[in-house]
Amino acid sequence: MDAQGVRAQGVRAQDWEPGDGSAMDRTWLADWRRRIAALYVEVRELAAADPGTALHHWRAVRERLFREHPESPVPAAERGSFRARHFDHDPTLRFVVRLEADPPREAGPAGSGLGGLTLELPVSDGQAMRFDRVGHVDVPFPAGERSLAVYWMGGYAGGLFVPFRDATNGRETYGAGRYAIDAAKSADLGGDAAAGTIILDLNFAFQPSCAFDPRWACPLAPPDNRLDLEIRAGERLA
């Protein structure tokens, strides 16, 4: 919904700004999160039968939200002309991978005991955010197997987090990397808990919000997840 739609509901758009911490801002932020969560429910259901159809739906809904929603990460002045860019769909970059746990550590004042290392990942605003490294996945890329660390986010409500960098960064994609999974924000393609597997489909890789506007603060991909490959799938900037 654009500013005109907000005014049609009796709210003057000039009375608040996204990110200002007001009650109105929080209401729209909650709405954004509900819509993203609903989108990923639909994507998981569609992908069970046809990942290509699921991808088309994901792209269309995200573009509409980025163009129209008051909590869009795209600056307000650029939303009307915003068009998302994507690499072509590559079915070979959809994987069902086993989450291999890191050795457990003792719970104590310094950590939650969820798995291996607790660390502070850099954030785009120069700060840091706490994550637990819970394990890794071995991904059978066509060019050869590579490993990606899997984290559990310490903020928000927690959630699996798989950021990555690749050889397209800084040219066609955001220089600090993209996200494959960000379950705290509902960006989760599912898996099989009993089998210990997760779905990693890099056609759904997306730019963090700070790629569109530096007012957003986003955790960045650590050295463990810097791939020596071009991942020509998912969202692109150029």
- Asked whether residue 39 falls in the same domain as residue 147, the answer is no
- Asked whether residue 50 falls in the same domain as residue 104, the answer is no
Could you tell me the pLDDT band of residue 12, with boundaries at 50, 70 and 90?
A: very low
Number of domains comprising the chain: 2
- Asked whether residue 137 falls in the same domain as residue 222, the answer is yes
Phi-psi region of 126 (alpha: psi -120 to 50; beta: other; left: phi over 0): left
Entry pTM = 0.84
Residue pLDDT, tens place only, 51-63: 999 999 999 999 9
Residue pLDDT, tens place only, 64-112: 999 999 999 999 999 999 999 999 999 999 999 999 987 665 554 444 4
Residue that finishes a domain, picked among 58, 83, 108: 83
Mean pLDDT over all residues of the chain?
85
Could you tell me the pLDDT band of residue 8, with boundaries at 50, 70 and 90?
A: very low
Could you tell me the pLDDT band of residue 221, with boundaries at 50, 70 and 90?
A: confident
Structural domain including 172 reads 86-238
Could you tell me the pLDDT band of residue 220, with boundaries at 50, 70 and 90?
A: confident
- Asked whether residue 62 falls in the same domain as residue 152, the answer is no
- Asked whether residue 185 falls in the same domain as residue 221, the answer is yes
Residue that finishes a domain, picked among 62, 83, 104: 83
Residue that finishes a domain, picked among 83, 98, 125: 83
d(Cα 204, Cα 55) in Å, to the nearest integer? 7
CB distance 161 to 153 below 8 Å: yes
- Asked whether residue 61 falls in the same domain as residue 96, the answer is no
Count other Cβ atoms within 10 Å, centred on residue 197. 16
* Torsion of Cα atoms, 227 then 44 then 47 then 185, to 10°: -30
